[in-house]
C-alpha cells in the first residue's frame, strides 16, 4: 500500500526533526489483536504514530498531531489533548474495504485523588464523510482504559477499544478493534 510508505516517511521526518523532550511507547494485546503507539512530545504538543492488527477484522495505522494541557497543581493531575489523526484502514473484507480518513478528537486522563497511581483514560476521534476518502463514508474510534502506575515511568492498563468504519460499498458498518486488551505504557 502506497500510504504505508508515504506515512512512514512523513512520520520519520517529524520524529527526527523534532528535538523531543519526552517519548512514550504504548502497546496492548488481546486474544486476536495487537496495538502499538509511539509518541514524542515537546512542551504542549505531541506527535504520534501507531496501528492495530486484528486477525479477523483487518488493520489500521495512523499519524496524529495534538495539543495537550496538563494540570499538575493538585495531587490528581488532569491531562487533556485535542488534535487530529490521519488514519489508513484495510478491513480484510471482500474488496473495496480500504481507505483514508482524517479523524478529529482528543483524549482525557484523570488521576484519582488520594490514589495517584490509578488513572482513567478515554479517547474519541471522528471522521465525517467530508474527511473520509476512497471507500470510507465515515469512521469513529474510541477507547477507554483503567491505568495503574507500576513504576515512575511505566503503567499497565486494561483497555476496551472500538473502531467503526462505514464503507460506501457495504450496507453496514464494520467494527474493528472491538475488544478488551491488556497493555503497558513506557515513558522515556
Residues 123 and 115: their CA atoms lie apart, in Å, by 22
Query: What CA–CA distances, in Å, run from 61 to 41, 149, 152, 185?
Result: 19, 27, 29, 18
* Paired strand residues for 39: 24, 48
Delineate the domains of the chain, giving CATH numbers in brackets: 2-187 (2.40.128)
Q: pTM here?
A: 0.85
Residues 81 and 70: their CA atoms lie apart, in Å, by 9
Question: pLDDT tens digits, the chain, 188 residues: what are they?
Answer: 444 555 555 555 555 555 557 899 999 999 999 999 999 988 888 899 999 999 888 899 999 999 998 776 666 688 899 999 999 998 877 777 889 999 999 999 998 888 889 999 999 999 999 999 988 899 999 999 999 999 999 999 999 999 999 887 777 788 888 889 999 999 98
What contacts 21, CB < 8 A, 6 or more positions away? 41, 42, 43
Amino acid at each position: 500500500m502506497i500510504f504505508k510508505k508515504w506515512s512512514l516517511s512523513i512520520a520519520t521526518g517529524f520524529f527526527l526533526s523534532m528535538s523531543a523532550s519526552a517519548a512514550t511507547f504504548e502497546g496492548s494485546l488481546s486474544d486476536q489483536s495487537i496495538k502499538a503507539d509511539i509518541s514524542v512530545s515537546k512542551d504542549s504538543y505531541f506527535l504520534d504514530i501507531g496501528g492495530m492488527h486484528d486477525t479477523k477484522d483487518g488493520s489500521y495505522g495512523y499519524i496524529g498531531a495534538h495539543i495537550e494541557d496538563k494540570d499538575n497543581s493538585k495531587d490528581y493531575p488532569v491531562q487533556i489533548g485535542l488534535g487530529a489523526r490521519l488514519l489508513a484502514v484495510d478491513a480484510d473484507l471482500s474488496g473495496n474495504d480500504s481507505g483514508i480518513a482524517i479523524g478529529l478528537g482528543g483524549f482525557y486522563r484523570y488521576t484519582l485523588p488520594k490514589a495517584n497511581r490509578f488513572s482513567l483514560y478515554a479517547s474519541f476521534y471522528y471522521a465525517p464523510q467530508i474527511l473520509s476518502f476512497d471507500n470510507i463514508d465515515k469512521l469513529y474510534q474510541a477507547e477507554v482504559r483503567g491505568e495503574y502506575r507500576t513504576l515512575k515511568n511505566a503503567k499497565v492498563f486494561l483497555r476496551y477499544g472500538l473502531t467503526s468504519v462505514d464503507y460506501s460499498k457495504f450496507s453496514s458498518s464494520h467494527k474493528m478493534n472491538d475488544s478488551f486488551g491488556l497493555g503497558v505504557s513506557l515513558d522515556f
